Amino acid sequence: MISQKINKEVSKQDNTAKYQQHYLTDMERQFIDHEVSLVPHKSAAVIEALKIVQRQRGWISDESVSAIAAYLQMSPAEVDSVATFYNLIFRKPVGRHVILVCDSISCYVMKYGEIYKALQEKLHIQFGETTSDQCFTLLPNACLGCCDHAPALMIDNDLYKDLTVEMLESILKQYT
């Protein structure tokens, strides 16, 4: 029994070593190394590492969690506890573009609900879902910091404000 368990542990370690060697790309490792060089201990760079891997791969898979953990000498559970805490680390695949609709108070007063309804109709998805062509994922998001131009949404790095339902068509067209 015990030896079986030990064997299992060993094979887990092998796996970990393998992840470390092959999973992260050279570029990812280079970026992570740079972040590690700025902080007193490796684990302090974990959020940056998650951001780096997500930038390359779109989301953070279980394999990414394990690889980052091995690389930063943390346990996968520790890395996952951080990954699942932050709103913009995606632990599920997302579409090529992520639409973040502000659902906070000023946008509520300025009727973001109508914008959401129109998006639902146009894209045939609800909050938390991805279109079947993998183009868009639709997510609610807290205040985008442009409440004087409510309602607002962001697609990837682009902010759209003073939204009306009529504007959505031409906004969405820019993303393929």
Partner 1 sequence: MERPLTQYIHPGCPPFDLREYQMTGGYAALQKALGSMTPKEVQQLVKDSGLKGRGGAGFSTGVKWGVVPMDDHAPHPKYLIANADEMEPGTFKDRLLLEGNPHQLIEGMILSAYAIQAEVSFIFLRWAYKKAAQLLRKSIHEAYVAGFLGKNILGSGFNLEMHLHTGVGRYMCGEETALLNALEGRRATPRAKPPYPQLSGLYGKPTIVNNVETLCNIPHIVNNGVDWFKGLSNSEDSGTKLYGVSGKVNKPGCWELPMGVTIRELIEEYAGGMKNGYQLKGVLPGGASTDFLTTEHLDVKMDFTDVAKAGSRLGTGTMVVMDDATCPVGFVHNLQHFFAQESCGLCTPCREGLPWVEKMLLSLEQGSGTEQDMELLEMHTHMLGPGNTFCALAPGAMEPLQSALKYFKDDFEKHISLHRCPYTA
Q: Indicate which single residue of 118, 125, 135, 146 sits in contact with ligand FES (rule: CB under 6 A).
A: 146
Quick check: 143 binds ligand FES (CB under 6 A)? Answer: yes
Residue closer to partner 1 (CB basis): 13 or 81: 81
Q: Which does 1 bind (CB under 5 to 8 A by kind): ligand FES, partner 1, none?
A: none
Residue closer to partner 1 (CB basis): 79 or 168: 79
Alpha-helical (H) ranges within 26-111 are: 26-37, 46-57, 62-71, 76-83, 105-109
The amino acid at 29: R
Q: Which of 93, 98, 27 is nearest to 63 (CA)?
A: 93
Quick check: 144 binds ligand FES (CB under 6 A)? Answer: yes
Least distance in Å: CB of 56 to ligand FES? 29
Q: Indicate which single residue of 60, 82, 102, 139 sits in contact with ligand FES (rule: CB under 6 A).
A: 102
Alpha-helical (H) ranges within the chain are: 2-18, 26-37, 46-57, 62-71, 76-83, 105-109, 112-123, 168-173
Q: Which stretch binds ligand FES (CB under 6 A): 46-54, 63-71, 137-145, 162-170?
A: 137-145
Q: Which of 58, 66, 65 is nearest to 90 (CA)?
A: 58
The amino acid at 65: V
Task: Kindly state the greatest CA–CA separation across the chain.
Answer: 67
CA distances to 19, 74, 107 from 113, in Å: 44, 42, 9
Quick check: 106 binds ligand FES (CB under 6 A)? Answer: yes
List of residues contacting partner 1 (CB under 8 A): 38-40, 43-48, 50-51, 81-82, 85-89, 103-106, 108-110, 141-150, 154, 157, 159
Interface residue list for ligand FES (CB under 6 A): 102, 104-107, 143-147, 150, 152
